Structure 1
């Protein structure tokens, strides 16, 4: 049995680090904030040095709290956040453009004739959410110098000196051949990136290099994009199992096994992870604004924060006829309309803060239902249940609303910080390749299970109201 490992989850609004012991669980944790800048025109940027500083601070904090040495490090990353940097010195040449950023919309419109082919090759629809359009934007507008990569490659370079990315993160760029799991010359040409030096694609578990930034020299043995790390930690390793993480956005992933499932529902086909040279795949659907929509309501003074959702929502029995489509940064899967903004309808003089809170919870939950139904359509069978994690799962109101609209049980993870736990499991696997995957992953246990409390007819009526509001935003009748 390997000793404790340090698992670092570098996220959009902060970095969380855990020291995980195989037999005692989490024995130390540390956090460090990250403050992206939200700018006009849908731009979202962050200083790359802040990302690195947060990784170091959170990791050192976790080690200090644990008070004992670790055997290895695992690193999870944001996925689609990109920057240009000098491969010789490691110095950033641009700010990091965050996954939520929409500045590459014009590039996507220009490349629209290639959209169908790109989706077939890479599994991803042509959208500024993914890395390649942002990379092209950087090359056209900021710098032709250095390399342009996702943020994980820069962080790994700073930590170890190596130039790599894991297969799942590479799959978030729209430059990866989904079937061959190699960089696609055709996709690179479409995006005008043919001459770029790209990182070596590695497995999610295995030695990458070593780092001394946390103190003693440690091997880096686990690398994975955040949502796939959460999928692993939730025990969703068999085809048809699914999880949803409620963070800044909400992200539903459904396991599809050893082959990509290119459906017609609007979900993304992508790499779940590559282990021992064998690639697993998943379906992926996104809601761009979940906790960020709660933060928006907080900034307006309607609530004091996410902790107020249940208290304020409990002041009324329902949404009072209010429908909220919280697409404050555009509609992602299955619509892929980043130009659409949110809507609040059915407001009256009797509308209260409680009605707005309930309508927001319904809007978030309804989008997740759309993702779950799209996944079921692509898989050919309904999801039997949904495993969930993330900060917003603390809201009983949101979770009950999710179960009601989904008409399926919603199982809330008893383990917080599942992204870090997932990459911690990979760090252990990287040290001990003979360790069975099921033994590396924490045993699944829900802290709560929310069963539907409304009949299917009521759920359908509420979903119908949401779909009518979305159709109005999309400029068509339902």
Structure 2
């Protein structure tokens, strides 16, 4: 029975679990993180706080478990980057979070190469991804040390190694999607040709050992957070899809061994490299989900996310919201888009605004479901869902209604670390299959559509028109 310490280092917090051989979380430790938001699209984190949170939560989880740990796994934010000194591990910059928009100028300067970049990487040229932020750091902050995604820095502190996993690397705009290896010509395009890039490893590879959590413990199970959740929810076969409702909302669908070039404005990435295979996934992003809920909480509409179902109106008064508080991703890819409320009257109350935000999140995810179906060439029959916001019955029912498919709620709040734990378990048991490492699960709840197809289509048509108007408004400013 392999006991895994799996750490999920995320945007809003770090979570560590100790999982037994059956995949059950024995103990959990968490630490909240608050990124710094500033004018001009600034979203930063203190790297030292990230490292401290990893060490603190990991040690607390191990202490609570009271049993030896066989392997340590790490899931990471994906596209958050920093500059650091490889000799000492000292940060040379703040961590530039995936939501940060300051690298838009880098992307603007490469517009003529956008089609070439998309064909090679499977991604859209956007500051959401790693390379533009890496280039921005080099131009504006420091030319010293190395510049990498946060996982490489954390793993260096844990093991002394200089690595990243194939799924994380595929989110950079610097890898060839078909080979999942660094592409020197793309690095040159971003002005990063002279950079030292980490070795790309498989998610089930033992990369080294760490003494950070007691004893000499192997480190394996490295993966970007959304793909970790995709695996945990058993989306192993082509066509299976999940959406994580976290800081943002992220919908991923397994496309098998084919790296699909999206014709619908989505992106394509490595799902994981494990068990001798490299499956791919297509994905779409909603930049603000839980961060939009935090925003309405800070405005005083709710006291906490737990109030959503009691505060939200039971029926809409016609108010619609496009919660583009950090821009719009697929299919618009407009980082300059801003949030919009429309349809308000003197009778509109705070509860109507709360419902409008929830329906706005669900409408964006429903749009992504439709786009995924285009790329898959087949309809989605179900949507698996995880993340803190799945606790909101109002949001999940809106999701089923607007997407017009059942929504299965993953029974654990820890999909991301459990996915990383499954990969670590695979690394320690070479004869195990991926499906055996993941195990079976049953939904904690299932939300069936209550709206008619006609009502859903009408709502989404009106909401999409508002979203398009938001984008056009950006064109005029």
TM range (shorter): over 0.9
Q: CA deviation at 1:276?
A: 4.0
Structure 2 match to 1:456: 453
- Structure 2 partner of 1:92: 91
SS at match of 2:143: coil
Among 321, 340, 360, the alignment partner of 2:337 is 340
Asked if the contact 2:2/2:428 (under 8 Å) is kept, the reply is no
Q: Does 1:110 align with 2:74?
A: no
Other-structure match for 1:138: 137
SS in 1 for 2:444: strand
Q: State the distance in 1 between where 2:255 and 2:51 align.
A: 33
Q: For this pair of structures, how many residues does the alignment match? A: 473
Question: What is the match of residue 26 of structure 1?
Answer: 25
The residue matched to 2:456 in structure 1 has which SS?
helix
Distance in 2 separating the partners of 1:404 and 1:188: 43
Q: Distance in 1 between matches of 2:329 and 2:130?
A: 15
Q: How does 1:55-204 map to 2 (within 5 A)?
A: 55-204=54-203
Q: CA deviation at 1:278?
A: 2.3
Output aligned runs, 1:174-253, within 5 Å.
Answer: 174-253=173-252
Residue in 1 that maps onto 2:325: 328
Q: 1:385 to 1:128 in 2, by over 3 A?
A: same
Tell me what 1:293 maps to.
292
* 8 A contact 1:13–1:33 mirrored in 2: yes
2:39 aligns with 40
| Corresponding position: 1:363 with 2:334 | no
The Cα shift of 1:465 comes to 1.3
Which whole-Å CA distance do the structure 2 matches of 1:307 and 1:221 have between them? Answer: 35
Partners of 1:6 and 1:334 lie apart in 2 by 37
Whole-Å Cα distance in 2 between the matches of residues 24 and 122 of structure 1?
33
User: Quick check: 1:431 aligned with 2:428?
Assistant: yes
Given that 1:267 and 1:334 are in contact with CA atoms closer than 8 Å, whether structure 2 keeps it comes out as yes
Which whole-Å CA distance do the structure 2 matches of 1:183 and 1:243 have between them? 28
TM-score, normalised to structure 2's length? 0.98
SS at match of 2:214: coil
Provide the rounded CA distance (Å) in 2 between the counterparts of 1:437 and 1:405: 33
**Residue deviations 1:374-430, cap 9 Å, x none?**
000000001000000000000000000000011100001112210000000111111
The equivalent of 2:412 in structure 1 is: 415
Offset, 1:190:
0.8
Q: Which residue of 2 aligns with 1:373?
A: 370
1:276 and 1:448 mapped to 2: Cα distance? Answer: 31
Per-residue deviation at 1:35?
2.2
Partner residue in 2 for 1:470: 467
Distance 1:221 1:460, change over 3 A: same
Q: What CA deviation, in whole Å up to 9, does each residue of 1:29-64 have, x standing for no partner?
A: 111222211111110111111111000111111111
In the other structure, the counterpart of 1:49 is: 48
Q: Does structure 1 retain, via aligned residues, the 8 Å contact 2:274–2:423?
A: no
2:261 aligned residue: 262
Corresponding residue for residue 5 of structure 1: 4
Please say which of residues 92-101 and 437-446 is displaced more in the overlay.
Answer: 437-446
SS at match of 2:301: coil
* Deviates further, 285-294 or 466-475: 466-475
Mapped partners of 1:261, 1:185: distance in 2:
22
Residue 350 of structure 2: which of 315, 334, 353 is its match? 353
Does structure 2 retain, via aligned residues, the 8 Å contact 1:421–1:442?
no
In 1, the alpha carbon distance for the partners of 2:340 and 2:197 equals 41
8 Å CA contact 1:28–1:64 kept in 2: the answer is no
1:359 positional shift = 0.6
Normalising to structure 1: TM-score of the pair? 0.98
Structure 1 residue 390 corresponds to structure 2 residue 390: no
Q: Which 5+ residue runs of structure 2 have no aligned equivalent? A: none
State the Cα RMSD in Å. Answer: 1.0
Alpha-carbon offset, residue 125 of structure 1 = 0.5
- Deviations 1:437-467 (CA, angstroms, capped at 9, x unpaired): 1111131210000001111011111101111
- Per-residue deviation, 1:24: 7.2
What is the rounded CA distance, in whole Å, between the counterparts of 2:420 and 2:439 in structure 1?
11
**Equivalent-residue separation in structure 2 for 1:415 and 1:104 (angstroms):** 36
Q: Once the 2 structures are TM-superposed, how far is the Cα of residue 358 of structure 1 from its aligned partner?
A: 1.1
Deviation at 1:218? 0.7
* In structure 2, distance between residues paired with 1:153 and 1:442: 29
Q: Distance in 1 between matches of 2:78 and 2:203?
A: 14
